[in-house]
Amino acid sequence: MNVAIAGAHGKIALRLSRVLTAEGDGIIGLIRNPDHAGEVSQAGAAPVVCDLEQATVEEIATAIDGADAVVFAAGAGPGSGGDRKLTMDRDGAIKLLSAAEAAGARRYLMVSGAGAEDPPDGDEVWETYLRAKAEADAALAASDREWTIVRPGGLTDDPGAGSVRIDADPFSGSVPRDDVASVLARLLSDSRSVRRVLYVNSGEQSIEQAFEAALGGSG
């Protein structure tokens, strides 16, 4: 499978690139900063400079040409203001959706976040971020792509334990980025997760057991 990852220099994205490369998949790594190309290459992705905030849909479609699937793992990042939460976390994800439609990439994985199911109304940056995620998720859910929305809880840099809980209903928790990347890689090839919103945190089950518990009766 050929996979385009938006935000390829991000902490989850680099981990995902390593997992997918080990499985033999081809990776297109979209980056904003050309200085990040070396690290993205080391993770196994082919870096392509494409700033989702500035690029047109047509330019993004060209950048992801040949991809069977796209993963939105980009974000404005810590320290950014509310305006960039909207232009990146919302508008960037929606641009990638339009580009996936234009380029013929059927599969779309959205890295969202817990709390997007019921975003608050305030004007603080975190509240704006959750609304941006919610609006991007809604646009994807209304599309004809084979989408899956993943909403992890608090992200940590702890080593992956390989044990998670996956649920269709919101629940609180935290999860290593290593384990989120492993779940994303597994989701790409599991048709049972299409058109599903899934919450992911650390748990007692292996990733395979968690998949069966959450999706075993689907499809």
Residues carrying an active site annotation: 129
Cβ(149)–Cβ(139) below 8 Å:
no
Angle at 103 between CA 84 and CA 147, to 5 degrees: 65
Cβ(215)–Cβ(205) below 8 Å:
no
Q: How far apart are CA 136 and CA 138, in angstroms?
A: 5
DSSP string, the chain: -EEEEETTTSHHHHHHHHHHHHTT-EEEEEES-GGGHHHHHHTT-EEEE--TTTS-HHHHHHHTTT-SEEEE-----TT--HHHIIIIIIHHHHHHHHHHHHHT--EEEEE--TTTTS-----SHHHHHHHHHHHHHHHHHTSSSEEEEEEE-EEE-SPP-SEEEEESS----EEEHHHHHHHHHHHHT-GGGTTEEEEEEE-SEEHHHHHHHHHTT--
